[in-house]
Chains A and B, each alone.
Chain A
């Protein structure tokens, strides 16, 4: 069972932008909003060198990492070819203009220190 908890309203996230949800002691979670108001959530760490994906440019269904421009798919958190690697994906739900994340996932998912992939 999911433990849905609101983190913000849809309007709190800029279109083609994102917000980050702080998790004290571990990496933030980035919540993205596409042009057509779909919402995705990923660990705020690029699988390449840990860049904060929440700071990237959002386009289509993807975000470009601000550090080295890897393109990460919002739906599955995986880098587009020829780059390879995935970051953790978090469940999101929309309900009456509210964006909800799964509290259990926030508590348990991807808590460890980020280890960058060796290129």
Chain B
């Protein structure tokens, strides 16, 4: 339902600032409701007068971190998310300690228990959940509590100082955290759990038993399968013992009911909103009964699910806020969730379908003595579930694989050993963030240490990886430390860090994914960026530095010779055809076919270095020469003087073709690798691609050209050529996959070209071949290149069509649309008299 349909005369819109503001009332001052308000304030700060009711006497705090408060690792002050000043600064009227008891939906007025009345135009119900209280005799005795809020936590801390015996009913996440906290505070704790193993909804039996062992080692006692019959009062009227169905009893001065939660729908039911396992909402988080009323968080049932974890609540908050802000474009389509236990020293992680079954395959690693257990559940070559105990460093990675649904056939043999096993650099091989000291460097690209990440998470109330990236730059460049940052988030904010849209928007300008955009361009024959933005309802008039280059690439790669390249939508390097350096100068790398050069080329380079006073000359890793520190004004003259083609070292395009000397000189060489390299380079230079592309050709399996870590690597053997694809020598060293063995040089050209064209047509902008092939699977590439002869020839033909007549931007300025004005600064006006 669209908000617009609901507007009655007199209601204002965002574009009508003079009119009276709409009234938004939020019932529930918890994480979900306040997050929705925060998102709304970002989008439309002036649209609403906002009033929030909270039943508790505290400002919004991080409920997930009650466990560390209970165990004494944090204080209440530390877990406050929005201090009272935040409400005041944003002009929010806050009613603390007031429970809303009724809503008059006809008059649109909210009524609290103390008689406070607030009228509304939009109402947001975020009442969270109730603990489930076992219906047993004695459930109302003093000393029997649930575990839900600050009040309960304080009651437990108080009881721990005065009493000895505690019984926790429920061996789920909440119950175990409560039990651990009470034990840390010195109580003797017995956990009563009716199911056959602990956390049966999050763990399989093996992991559940391992968890029990390690908690027993900390002094907790367990009564598994015991059924509580009654709570027995002592002479002072306070609870004294718990009695079970078999007649046995255990002493208990404190009983914590942690047998699950139920959506708090008391108010919603009273005012006639349809409830079924929660307040039923649609994809814009409006209640299906009354579109003026929204609901988010644990009380809301979306497509039959009421989520109890923070990431889904935040996703809901975001969608709800866009709709409240009258940008009715967002849809919430559900979340995948993962679980982690917040008991210091116990690492446990689960996500997806970790139980498996007859239609699933399982990879299991079990070391009960070492306390490590990992189970991965696979279906149709995809990871669908994971359950880990003892070593959860790769939980975030598995969860990512699971959400992305990418095929894992190519990494199946290494999957169990985690992401680090696939080889990455930049964080000294650390895998357990919690044990690192504060000064340990987490992000090697941006020099961010653990202390500053944790500080930002706490002080700025960050919950998602994206937020940490924005605020600290950690994991924002190469991304190899992402797993560590996710661990720090988990450990510091307690959050379920993985906000997990199944479809990732291209950027903040749109909800469309890269796939949507390319499909629209191809299907609707779109030829200009403006057409794309109009057709796909972009939120911004001319995009941003993120989407414009991507859209430009999709246009020119989908419609070669038709779509017109837009230089103003390219990153500076591709606009000035040189690499910008940190001081604003540029570097120039001319093309040296196959890494071969001549005396006259070298002489011209040397002369240019002298003439233009170029400070640094460096041999690159790709067998070329880099001239660094060239002034922008000098670029066209340097290109002209050197007289060699553009090396495209600045572009998302074919860069170098590295070769060994091959059979021409080498006593081991079996093939003429240098010639092969030159032929490949001549055939495919000027090829723009989603990201940079590097080739290498070696003349024998000694592989001196390091072809195993290139986008396409060709290795000569006595009987022909082996072709490898999707290798990478960067952040994650990934060895290229063997694709095919070929006989002739013509075949090498055809297959290499076909692979490149497939990548150009299917890769997302800024996705290297390694990530592209990981995403679509090597089998897909084989089907397209090896099994489908016609398709392969067509791909190669399309690439040749695209490249035919492509200009060299260093010489054919007009055709390459090089705006020469950029090289000439404007003169400052003459001194006026």
Contacts and interface: CB of A to CB of B under 8 A. Distances in A.
A6 B826 CA distance: 11
A85 interface: no
Interface string B559-588: 000000001111110011000101110000
A22 B825 contact: yes
A61 B705 CA distance: 47
Interface stretch (B100-108, B274-282, B538-546, B606-614): B538-546
A60 B580 contact: no
B551 to A, nearest CB: 12
Given A14-B819, A67-B582, A82-B470, A59 B542 contact: yes
B580 A66 contact: yes
Given A57-B548, A60-B540, A67-B582, A19 B568 contact: no
A56 to B, nearest CB: 7
A87 B826 CA distance: 20
B548 A19 contact: no
B825 A57 contact: no
Contacts of B819: 14, 17
A119 B452 CA distance: 12
B540 A59 contact: yes
Interface in B600-637: none
Given A49-B582, A57-B548, A21 B470 contact: no
B584 A22 contact: no
A103 B545 contact: no
Contacts of A107: 831
Interface string B305-328: 000000000000000000000000
Contact of B828 (A12, A57, A106): A106
B245 interface: no
Interface in A1-47: 3, 5-8, 12, 14-17, 19-24, 28, 31, 35
B549 interface: yes
Given A59-B544, A82-B471, A22 B572 contact: no
B588 to A, nearest CB: 16
B411 interface: no
B828 A15 contact: no
Contacts of B357: none
Contacts of B583: 50
B821 A19 contact: yes
B827 interface: yes
B584 A15 contact: no
B15 interface: no
A55 B819 CA distance: 13
What range describes how many residues of A lie at the interface?
35 or more
Given A3-B832, A19-B826, A103-B829, A57 B569 contact: yes
Contacts of A58: 568
A21 B829 CA distance: 9
Contacts of A20: 825-826
Interface in B529-556: 540-545, 548-549
Nearest to A3: B832
A64 B239 CA distance: 65
B542 A60 contact: yes
Contacts of A8: 826
Nearest to A52: B584
Interface string B469-482: 01101000000000
Contacts of B832: 3, 5, 103
What range describes how many residues of B lie at the interface?
20 to 34
A35 B542 contact: yes
Contacts of A31: 826
A3 B583 CA distance: 32
A32 to B, nearest CB: 11
A117 interface: no
A82 B548 CA distance: 22
Nearest to B585: A52
B543 to A, nearest CB: 6
Contact of B568 (A16, A28, A64): A16
A101 interface: yes
Interface string B744-763: 00000000000000000000
A73 interface: no
B829 A6 contact: yes
A96 B145 CA distance: 78
A57 B540 contact: no
Contacts of B825: 19-22, 28
Contacts of A5: 829, 832
Given A16-B542, A66-B580, A67-B580, A57 B571 contact: yes
A48 to B, nearest CB: 11
Contact of B821 (A12, A59, A71): A12
Contacts of A14: 567-568, 819, 821
Contacts of A57: 545, 548-549, 568-572
A59 B582 contact: no
Contact of B545 (A12, A71, A82, A101): A71
Nearest to B580: A66
B582 A22 contact: no
Contacts of B549: 57
Nearest to B633: A22
B544 A55 contact: no
Contacts of A15: 568
A110 B101 CA distance: 61
Contacts of B582: 49, 67
Contacts of A64: 544-545
Interface string B800-833: 0000000000000000000101100111110110
Contacts of A24: 828
Interface centre among B473, B571, B829, B831 (most CB of A within 10 A): B829
Nearest to B570: A57
Nearest to A31: B826
Contacts of A101: 829
Nearest to B460: A82
Contacts of B543: 59
A102 B570 CA distance: 31
Contacts of A55: 572, 575-576, 580, 584
A3 B569 CA distance: 34
A59 B583 CA distance: 23
Interface in B432-482: 470-471, 473
A59 B545 contact: yes
B580 A22 contact: no
B545 A35 contact: no
A60 B544 contact: yes
Nearest to B543: A59
B202 to A, nearest CB: 34
Nearest to A16: B568
13 contacts: A7-B826, A12-B821, A15-B568, A16-B568, A23-B828, A55-B580, A57-B545, A60-B541, A69-B545, A82-B470, A82-B471, A101-B829, A103-B832
Interface of B: 470-471, 473, 540-545, 548-549, 567-572, 575-576, 580, 582-584, 819, 821-822, 825-829, 831-832
**Closest A-B pairs by Cβ, 4 of them:** A64-B545, A5-B829, A22-B825, A57-B545
Given A21-B825, A82-B470, A103-B831, 5 more contacts: A21-B828, A50-B583, A57-B548, A59-B540, A66-B580
